A and B are shown apart, each in its own frame.
Chain A
Amino acid sequence: MDLRADHITHRYGDMTVLEDVSLDIPAGEILCIIGPSGCGKSTLLRLLGGLEEPSAGQVLQLGTPPMGCLNPLTYVFQDFALLPWRTVEGNVSLVLEDHRLERHAAEAIIDDVLTRTKLADFRRALPRQLSGGMKQRVAIARALAVNPAVMLLDEPLSALDAQTRELLMDDLITLWSRQPFTGVYVTHNLAEAVRLGHRIVVLSRRPGRVRDVIEVPMDLTDRRPGMAELERLQAQLWQMMRDEALAADQELADV
């Protein structure tokens, strides 16, 4: 299933946050969205998954979601959004309970996703016992459990420290290489974008428009931190964003 944003414009009151944004997200590809703060990246993601309605334009699902897909558009949130009163497996089973799966089918899914995210030993732990990185792995496991057609990742690594971020990036790449998923990955971290994106969309500052779309000409699994090509690409992206970011920063100071 592909996802398409078709001439989306979004306003909060008088303020236009997104203007005429059109994007194509083909199946099996990770699309990164970067842009200066306040450019409407997260709003765009909420629009893509139907958590908000665009003021103009529409989001289209092209084709049918794959077999066994319980929730075609599935989010991974920046602050994990785990229920603190449920254990790791309880948090995963939460999203399966409404689908009237047979007991052993649900069990099998939970086993599978917890193994894939290396959480099998922590099934009965409560969120407060877990580190930030583990919490986000639980949230990723929960997203994988519904077998999504498109994963919508809203700065999933921004609440984590640099080392954990590096580990989780590897995990995401491993997950993708074993079973390619379609993803929209919003971030303000350029290093994440060049590591994880097949294509990178650069948004301008508010009102957000698509400034450029950049292909990363390298296989996801071949990328390593600190590679010269990636560094160059990252520098190029930064060059593109620098002035906008500066202007966006000044703009906030005026408000």
Chain B
Amino acid sequence: MSDGTARPVRFRGGGFRPTARRGMGVIVFVVLIALIEWGTRAGWISNLTLPRPSDVARTFIDLWNTGLLFQHLTPSITRLIVGGLMGISAGIGIGILIGLFSYARAGLVPLVAAIFPIPKIALLPLFVIWFGIDEGSKYALIALGTFTPTIVATYGAVDNVDRTLIRMGQSFGLSWFSIVRKIVLPGALPGILSGMRVSVAIGIILLVAAEMLGAEFGVGAYILQAGALYDLERLFAGVVILSVLGVVTSWMIGQAEKRLLRWRS
């Protein structure tokens, strides 16, 4: 075999393993915004297509200075928190019931499957009749929107809890309640939290939709007004607020995961 020539073995592993790269996300944002700024200034992007980012920033600073920002943001965030909490907590509760009890599963899974694909916005007029034009209908819309994805994520997570751990609990004579509280719930937590990312994003979408259909204040109302006037700077300022809201909520869930799931490698 050996004929005297020696070649180093070529490295062919590596790749397929994304690792954290700090600051890359920021660079993408900055480059994109700089491109648009340049384009709108140089003229190869017309003012009707996209507003100038610096103008959007100026509008945003105006919003801040006049106090209008919080006049719109506070009711929006309140709606998101109240509606989201209702929907997510109910969803986790029902999801656990479906995960644990055969009858709940047999009875509720088809119902959830029937409710899930309904565009909840279509139900807003109904909610207005049921809960009034005020906050009630908005809470209900956000609650229902976050409810179904949370259920699906939760019972999936409960299903995925390692059965050997549950058998272990039984073999040591742990009570049913102890098994649920100390084995099933912590075991399902990773799945529940990742389901919450989806639920909260859906919550934000529905928040805006509800505010567009009848609200004096709120980010959705602000965007609707700006759109009606073709005021692109204000429209984009509103959209930026929503993006930031999405990033912040996602970051918060990330922090919760870091804290609560420290036991994962």
Contacts and interface: CB of A to CB of B under 8 A. Distances in A.
Contacts of B173: 70-71, 98
A128 B165 contact: no
Interface stretch (B70-78, B88-96, B147-155, B174-182): B174-182
B265 A94 contact: no
Interface stretch (A80-88, A179-187, A204-212, A224-232): A80-88
Contacts of B261: 85
Given A83-B183, A83-B186, A98 B174 contact: yes
Contacts of B164: 77, 79, 81
A74 B167 contact: no
A98 B170 contact: no
Interface string A61-93: 000000000110111010101011110000000
A127 B170 CA distance: 20
A81 B186 contact: no
A51 interface: yes
B65 interface: no
A81 B175 contact: no
A70 B174 CA distance: 11
Contacts of B186: 83, 85
Contacts of B29: none
B265 A81 contact: no
Q: Is the interface of B mostly helix, strand, loop or mixed?
A: helix
B10 interface: no
A83 B186 CA distance: 9
Nearest to A99: B173
A233 interface: no
Interface string A115-158: 00000000000111000000000000010001000000000000
Contact of B182 (A71, A77, A94, A146): A94
Interface in B164-197: 164-165, 167-175, 178, 182-183, 186-187
B263 interface: yes
B251 to A, nearest CB: 23
A146 B170 CA distance: 14
B167 A51 contact: yes
B22 interface: no
B264 interface: yes
Interface string A226-255: 000000000000000000000000000000
A111 B183 CA distance: 23
Q: Is the interface of A mostly helix, strand, loop or mixed?
A: loop
A95 B178 CA distance: 10
A71 B174 CA distance: 10
B165 A83 contact: yes
A49 interface: yes
Contacts of A84: 263-264
Contacts of B265: 128
Contact of B168 (A70, A81, A128, A146): A81
A49 B178 CA distance: 20
A79 B261 CA distance: 21
Interface in B198-233: none
Contacts of B168: 75, 77, 81
Given A51-B170, A85-B187, A98-B173, 13 more contacts: A70-B173, A71-B172, A73-B171, A77-B164, A81-B168, A85-B186, A86-B263, A94-B172, A94-B182, A97-B182, A98-B174, A98-B175, A128-B263
Interface of B: 164-165, 167-175, 178, 182-183, 186-187, 261, 263-265
26 contacts: A49-B171, A51-B167, A71-B171, A71-B172, A74-B171, A75-B168, A75-B171, A77-B167, A81-B167, A81-B168, A83-B182, A83-B186, A84-B263, A84-B264, A85-B186, A85-B263, A86-B263, A94-B172, A95-B172, A98-B173, A98-B174, A98-B175, A127-B263, A128-B263, A128-B264, A128-B265
